[in-house]
Amino acid sequence: MQKDVHEAELQNLLTAYVVTGLLFMLLPGTFLGVWNLISISSERGLSSLSAAWIQAHGHAQIFGWIGTFIIGIGYYSLSKMGTIAPFAVSRGWLSWLLWTCGVLLRWVANISLWNWRILLPVSAAAELAAFLIFFFTVSRHRSSGAGRTIEVWMGLVIASTVGFLILLLMNAAVATRLALAGETPVFPHGFDQRFLVLATWGFPVLAVWGFNARWLPAFLGLKPASRGSLLAGLVLCGSGVIAALSGNFRIASAFLIVASVTVTLALNIFERAQQPPQLQGVHPAFPAFFRLCYAWLLVAAILSAWAATADQNGGIWGASRHALTVGFLAGMIFAIGPRILPAFCGGRQLFSPALMFAACSLLNLGCLLRVSSEIPAYEGFAQAAWHVLPYSAVIELIAVSLFALNLALTLARPAAPLSDSRLYTISFSQGPKQI
């Protein structure tokens, strides 16, 4: 009985994180991104747009969408693995409140500039406090897991969590410095470029690799990941992030390319499956979308090397960043979200596999148009490419809206009885096969 109550409370908590992440993704994130891209295209250049608005979009997507999903899934899934003792779910709610307010305040500060000297550091402090509650909950409450060896996939998730913490500490330090002595809430360009490498490769990419190593053998029927190569991938990616933070982007991109290839091989992404994939309510094209994400990862890494040597107007960096954030990260969430989130949020079934297919296809199409036209447009190689960019933005907006609609309609369905929904969730402690 006690267990049922805790399970139901955890499911409600995760649902709140998922809905909040979707809202950040839609309005402050994607809608603003589309608006920005249309303005940039009509002015034929990045310099015409307020850097505060660009950073507001980036912050809403990385912290507001991806960060919110990762914290919510982290609370839920780690409590399922028996590595942390049952915790008071009220702690998860406190971190949700602080996190949501923090991300929202940052967006308001950047967009309106209203009282930004106060809002900026308050937002950073709230985000940090929310994360610290999460961090101490999942790191100090070891119970049955104490003494167990840490598997490599878990090592990747832990590294990602540490990356997230460092990111938030840097964010708080710079926000405070700007509030005291800056002229605007905009992070200086040089610092922002380094910060963004940590915000992408140093945290969500590592989390995805870790959870993929855990889930792919079951979901796609792939051979289990090679532990040594995964560990090598982690070290290489960490070295790339450290090189970028110290300003050596060429060295960083070389590390990131090798890391991406190593992890893709380690996870056997492009190998033939050994068993049929476990689709359970998602579209049969799920494995193909999954593999496309890893193609985007490799494109992003290769473009970062080109950007480090030849970028003049932000076009190659922008293309590399969006190959990673839209093609790899958003593509991954669009593929795997419908597979796991309905099950975790109360043992539900996905509302529509067809909507999932449409969202994933349009996202990939929008990303392809964006990445292929951003470089010629921004870098001045082909003026005609400016005409393609607004279409890419609108296609991505439709994709994102379909994804959100599908999940919202799924969550609006009645939950399975707790005895059934536990079948979906308890499997974290026993291996992923029953998810």
Which residues in this chain contact ligand HEM in the complex, by CB under 6 A? 30, 33-34, 36-37, 40, 46, 54-55, 57-58, 61-62, 66, 192, 196, 318, 321-322, 325-326, 329-330, 393, 396, 400
Task: Specify the residue, 87 or 386, whose C-beta has the smaller distance to ligand HEM.
Answer: 386
Chain position whose Cβ is nearest to ligand HEM: 318
Full DSSP string of 205-266: HHHHHHHHHHHHHHHT-PPPPPHHHHHHHHHHHHHHHHHHHTT-HHHHHHHHHHHHHHHHHH
Task: Specify the residue, 61 or 171, whose C-beta has the smaller distance to ligand HEM.
Answer: 61
Name, in order, each residue with C-beta under 8 angstroms of 275's C-beta and a sequence gap of 6 or more: 221
For residue 53, the minimal CB distance to ligand HEM (Å) is 9
SS3 call for 334: helix
Using a CB cutoff of 8 Å and minimum separation of 24, what contacts does 310-317 make?
A: 311/379, 312/379, 312/380, 313/45, 313/46, 313/378, 313/379, 313/380, 314/46, 314/378, 315/46, 315/374, 315/375, 315/376, 315/377, 315/378, 315/379, 316/375, 316/378, 316/379, 317/193
Task: Specify the residue, 46 or 220, whose C-beta has the smaller distance to ligand HEM.
Answer: 46
Find out whether 230 and 263 touch, Cβ atoms under 8 Å. yes
Task: Specify the residue, 349 or 401, whose C-beta has the smaller distance to ligand HEM.
Answer: 401
Task: Specify the residue, 202 or 346, whose C-beta has the smaller distance to ligand HEM.
Answer: 202
For residue 196, the minimal CB distance to ligand HEM (Å) is 5
Task: Specify the residue, 84 or 196, whose C-beta has the smaller distance to ligand HEM.
Answer: 196
For residue 122, the minimal CB distance to ligand HEM (Å) is 20
For residue 148, the minimal CB distance to ligand HEM (Å) is 33
Find out whether 328 and 264 touch, Cβ atoms under 8 Å. no
For residue 394, the minimal CB distance to ligand HEM (Å) is 9
Tokens of 60: 């809403």
Find out whether 305 and 250 touch, Cβ atoms under 8 Å. yes
Tokens of 380: 């001045």
H or E segment at 270?
A: none
Find out whether 402 and 359 touch, Cβ atoms under 8 Å. yes
For residue 55, the minimal CB distance to ligand HEM (Å) is 4
For residue 335, the minimal CB distance to ligand HEM (Å) is 14
Query: Exposed (0-12), middle (13-18) or buried (19+): which is 63, by Cβ within 10 Å?
Result: buried
Task: Specify the residue, 290 or 334, whose C-beta has the smaller distance to ligand HEM.
Answer: 334
Task: Specify the residue, 8 or 358, whose C-beta has the smaller distance to ligand HEM.
Answer: 358
Find out whether 163 and 203 touch, Cβ atoms under 8 Å. yes
- Tally Cβ neighbours within 10 Å of residue 429: 13
Cα separations (Å) of 177 from 92, 135, 181, 183, 187? 30, 25, 6, 11, 10
**Angle, in degrees to the nearest 10, between helices 315-322 and 286-310:** 160
For residue 289, the minimal CB distance to ligand HEM (Å) is 16
Task: Specify the residue, 259 or 400, whose C-beta has the smaller distance to ligand HEM.
Answer: 400
For residue 343, the minimal CB distance to ligand HEM (Å) is 23
